[in-house]
Amino acid sequence: MSQFTGNHVLSVNQFDRDAIEKIFHVAHSMEPYARRQKRTTVLDGAILGNLFFEPSTRTRVSFGTAFNLLGGEVRETTGMSSSALAKGESLFDTARVLSGYSDIIAMRHPQAGSVAEFSEGSRVPVLNGGDGANEHPTQALLDLFTIKRELEYNGKQIDGLHIAMIGDLRYGRTVHSLSKLLCLYKNIHFTLISPKELAMPDNVISAIENAGHKLTVTNQIEGVVNADICYQTRIQEERFTSQAEANKYRGRFRLNQSIYTRHFQSKTVIMHPLPRDSRMEANELDNDLNSNPNLAIFRQADNGVLVRMALFALTLGVDDLVSKYEREVVWYTNKSQSL
Residues making contact with ligand CP (CB under 6 A): 56-60, 130, 139, 273-275
SS3 call for 168: coil
Question: 131 or 150, CB closer to ligand CP?
Answer: 131
Half-sphere exposure of 267 (CA within 13 A, CB side): 11
Minimum Å gap between C-beta 60 and ligand CP is 6
Minimum Å gap between C-beta 274 and ligand CP is 5
Question: 191 or 236, CB closer to ligand CP?
Answer: 236
Minimum Å gap between C-beta 214 and ligand CP is 27
Neighbours of 83 (CB within 10 A): 15
CA distance linking residue 126 with residue 10, whole number of Å: 7
Cis peptide before 275 (omega within 30 of 0): yes
Minimum Å gap between C-beta 56 and ligand CP is 3
Minimum Å gap between C-beta 309 and ligand CP is 16
Name the helix (H) or strand (E) containing 258: helix 257-263
Minimum Å gap between C-beta 242 and ligand CP is 21
Q: How far apart, in Å, are the Cα atoms of 288 and each of 256, 274, 284?
A: 6, 16, 11
Region for residue 155 given its phi and psi (left: phi exceeds 0; alpha: psi -120 to 50; beta: otherwise): left
Question: 71 or 172, CB closer to ligand CP?
Answer: 172
Question: 119 or 174, CB closer to ligand CP?
Answer: 174
Question: 167 or 273, CB closer to ligand CP?
Answer: 273
Question: 285 or 318, CB closer to ligand CP?
Answer: 285
Minimum Å gap between C-beta 120 and ligand CP is 24
The closest alpha carbon to 105, from 152, 145, 138, belongs to 138
The long-range contacts involving 218-224, CB below 8 angstroms and separated by at least 24 positions, are: 218/191, 218/192, 218/193, 219/193, 219/194, 219/195, 220/193, 221/166, 221/193, 221/253, 221/255, 221/259, 221/263, 222/263, 223/263, 224/164, 224/191, 224/193, 224/263, 224/264
Question: 22 or 60, CB closer to ligand CP?
Answer: 60
